[in-house]
Structure formats: structure tokens, C-alpha cells
Amino acid sequence: MSSLIEKLKKYRILLLMAGLLGLSISQQKLIMPFVYDVIKSDLFLIDSKDKGSNLPVSTSLSNLAFMHCNNYIKSKAPPNESISFTEKPLKAWDIGNYEYVINAEINVTSNAVPTTKKYTCRIVYDNGDNQEGLLDIENWSIVGVSNLQ
């Protein structure tokens, strides 16, 4: 048994190189073709009329998203705070498939001390291309609100 270990120690660099070569070949011939097939499939395809943009937008849907985010924040506020909202968000992004990111400010008065806070809200219109229930908050999902500081 010890002679086998001595032989393996003698060829350890060669074994390491063979192992790396085997990993490289298996990735090229087995793993990557499978990954490319998954990418070509429509597994991740979202077919929607709302394509989104990486630039800030101001549309009727982004304004509704802003309104629903404000209502959500107001519903979660402590009763001793008075909250007022700005007329428009600082920025709003349509990230596609009726999903919006809203960046805005709110004015909070707590114990007669007014402060301005910024927040970011991510919200999704759940009914997609069917826009009959835009005003109903039940048709929207708040993914999260952050930076409320």
C-alpha cells in the first residue's frame, strides 16, 4: 500500500494536470451544450407588450404604481406619524412586464418634528396586458419597500 502512495506522490503534478484536462473537456462537451440548449428554449421567455426601459419614465402606469406605493407606505405607518407625499416621484423605472421601481420622497411629521425621507418601492401589476383593474390595489403586488430612512 505504501508503494502505491509513493508512486502517486511521484506523479501528483501529472495527476493534477489530467484532472484539470478532464474537467475542461467535460465542461466543453457536456455542461455547456446543455446550458446553451436551456438558453435557446423559451423557458425564460416573458411575452408581454410592456418591454420596459433602463431610462426613467413618467407614464400613467408609473404614476399609478407611485400612488399604490404611497398608499402602501401610509397603511404601514405608525398612527402617531403624519405623512404627506410629493406630487411626483423623483424617478420611476418601467423594468418590463408591468414591473416598476419608484424612487420618491415623503414628508413625515412625528412629535411635531417634520422630516423628509426617501424610499424605493418595487411594484408589479399582476394582470399583465389586461388593464381593466389598474386602480384596484388587489391587482398589484408590492415586492418591497426599502431605504425608508
Give per-10-residue mean pLDDT for the chain (149 aa): 74 89 94 89 72 80 92 87 90 90 90 87 88 84 81
Predicted local distance difference test score (pLDDT) of residue 102: 94
List, in sequence order, every beta strand (DSSP E) within the chain: 81-85, 91-96, 99-110, 113-125, 140-146
The predicted structure's pLDDT at residue 79: 84
Contact 86, 66 (CB under 8 A): no
The candidate with the shortest Cα–Cα distance to 141, out of 128, 116, 122, is 122
pLDDT given at position 91: 93
What is the pLDDT, as a whole number, of residue 52?
A: 74
Please say whether the dihedral angle defined by the alpha carbons of residues 53, 55, 59 and 61, taken in this order, is positive or negative: positive
Give the span between the Cα atoms of 149 and 146, in whole angstroms: 8
Give pTM, 2 decimals.
0.67
